[in-house]
Amino acid sequence: MTAAVSNLADPPGGQPVTARPIPPVAGLLPSRVFERTVWQRRFASRLRTTDTIVVCAAVALAQYVRFGAILPPPGDVEYYVPTFSIVFVILWLSALAAFRTRSPRLVGSGIEEYRRVIAASFWTFGVIALVALLFHVDIARGYLAVALPAGTLGLVLSRQLWRKHLTRRRAQGRYQTAALVFGERDAAEHLATELSRNPADGLEVVGIGIPGYGPPQNEHIAVRGRHVPIIGDEACMMEAIHTCGADTVAIAGTEHFGVRGIRRLIWDLEPMGVDLVMSTGAMDVALSRLVMRPIAGLPMLHIEKPQYLGAKRIQKRAFDTCFALVALAVTLPVFIVAVIAIKLTSRGPVFYAAERIGIDGKPFLMLKLRTMVQNADQQLTYLLDKNESDGPLFKIRNDPRVTPVGRILRRFSIDELPQFINVLRQEMSVVGPRPPLRREVGTYDCDGLRRLLVKPGITGLWQVSGRSDLRWDEAVRLDLSYVDNWSMVGDILIIAKTVRAVFGRTGAY
């Protein structure tokens, strides 16, 4: 069996270019394609097994807590419960499959994977509640109240453990996706850089193709410290896929190929088992905001508007208020000990109020426990030359103004507990962009001003992604991504990651 490969770009006048034959497909099939398929199937199978164990354990726990036994004795009035539990487990596992929570495109992706797991779990309970209401089925609410949080939490934690396993394997060079990037030089270089940004994604750029380049000339492009070979132009692509061992072709812009060129490329890659992905040019857009819609026979990508207005803002405000009240109540003993320690070890007020710029550019006083000496602001001018930040922020790892007690408070973010008072005042949110200084806002361009569309947060993507170790441009990018892609599930996951970051003590100084 043979296949034909033609010049993939639409030629002038729309006339097809004479195709040239290539060797049999079996001879061109990259070994990495087979390896990728094998590990993806194995990984999905392990996820399925783990999901089954977690769901069964959650249902068994709920039955034991509510009824005192996993299997009630015959003749008990609630003997129907085991039968219902079996149906419950099947429905829950079916929902996880229907929401494609084990899709190879999502495993190890983080928030989107967790969001689908949580959505599938809540959908399951919604169906059960609806059936119980319509058919007047008496289902113990305590039973469901145990199964839902226990099962959902167990599923999220199991996915997190599997993600760590996947990250470790990818750090060892396994479970990799070998990508061949094609596009204009600047666009291809940018796409290759973004694909290689996070090693945990398991993407390795093995070659770059440039339209009109001609045959390979032994040239390379530097991508994050690696020299990636230029494989030539579109005429060399199929041969390069086999030579480089690529299992994915990533297109940076489709203008060169045209409609028929892309269609021919899809046909040529199909028998090889090689995936085709195309960059839309839109960055930091959550998958939940992307909807593919066929219009006039063309697949059009619709990007939903950000959801930080209207009912979503009211929902977020209610969550912030409840969470702040609970957080202040739970941390009150730690708060009291910190206040006493500050008062006994240094002069000055216990609280430090610093001006920050909030939603819509309104200034407010952000409260913190004082961690520096009393006249710290006056000493700042003598330390500016030691600034380790690459942006308008002032950060040094061993700031001499920080007191011994202050270092402990900063290390565990205890100094930020009073900010929950700012949340109750509706000046801040639990999760949001980092609270900016007035001088920072003065340097913002139009993109940076989008950070002011939502309330600043006690924690956020910047907090769980490196804290003080982040570069300025990375922190800004994370804040903008949060503003555009906010979701309630995302906030909950960020809070969970914050707890881990605080106890991990990474980037706190």
Partners of 250 in beta bridges:
181, 277
Taking the C-alpha atoms of residue 272 and residue 266, their distance in angstroms, rounded to an integer, is 10
Taking the C-alpha atoms of residue 496 and residue 509, their distance in angstroms, rounded to an integer, is 21
Taking the C-alpha atoms of residue 484 and residue 468, their distance in angstroms, rounded to an integer, is 23
Give the residue numbers spanning the domain of 50: 34-171
48 and 11 share a domain? no
- Among 269, 286, 303, residue at a domain's last position: 303
198 and 347 share a domain? no
Q: What is the mean pLDDT of residues 229-245?
A: 88
Q: What is the mean pLDDT of residues 76-98?
A: 79
164 and 91 share a domain? yes
- Among 235, 270, 303, residue at a domain's last position: 303
Residue 118 lies in a domain: yes
| pLDDT classification of 154: cutoffs 50, 70, 90 | very high
Residue 214 lies in a domain: yes
Of 281-290, 319-328, 373-382, the least confident: 281-290
Q: Which residue has the higher pLDDT, 420 or 261?
A: 420
Q: What is the mean pLDDT of residues 421-431?
A: 94
Residue 396 lies in a domain: yes
Q: Report DSSP state, residue 508.
A: -
Q: Report DSSP state, residue 413.
A: T
167 and 183 share a domain? no
104 and 183 share a domain? no
Q: What is the mean pLDDT of residues 349-377?
A: 89
Query: Which amino acid is it at 457?
Result: G
Residue 509 lies in a domain: no
3-class SS of residue 331:
coil
Which are the contacts of 307, defined by CB distance < 8 A and separation ≥ 6?
486, 487
Instruction: Convert the pLDDT of each residue in 163-196 to its tens digit.
Output: 888 888 888 878 888 899 998 888 889 889 888 8
340 and 484 share a domain? yes
61 and 151 share a domain? yes
329 and 367 share a domain? yes
The number of distinct structural domains making up the chain is 3
369 and 483 share a domain? yes
Residue 232 lies in a domain: yes
Calculate the average pLDDT of the chain: 80
295 and 373 share a domain? no
Taking the C-alpha atoms of residue 464 and residue 85, their distance in angstroms, rounded to an integer, is 38
Give the CATH number for residue 196: 3.40.50.720
Taking the C-alpha atoms of residue 405 and residue 344, their distance in angstroms, rounded to an integer, is 10
16 and 75 share a domain? no
- Among 116, 144, 171, residue at a domain's last position: 171
User: What tokens appear for 422 in the block?
Assistant: 């700012």
Query: Which amino acid is it at 352?
Result: Y
Main-chain phi, psi angles of 115, to 5 degrees: -60, -40
320 and 454 share a domain? yes
How confident is the model at residue 311, as a pLDDT? 66
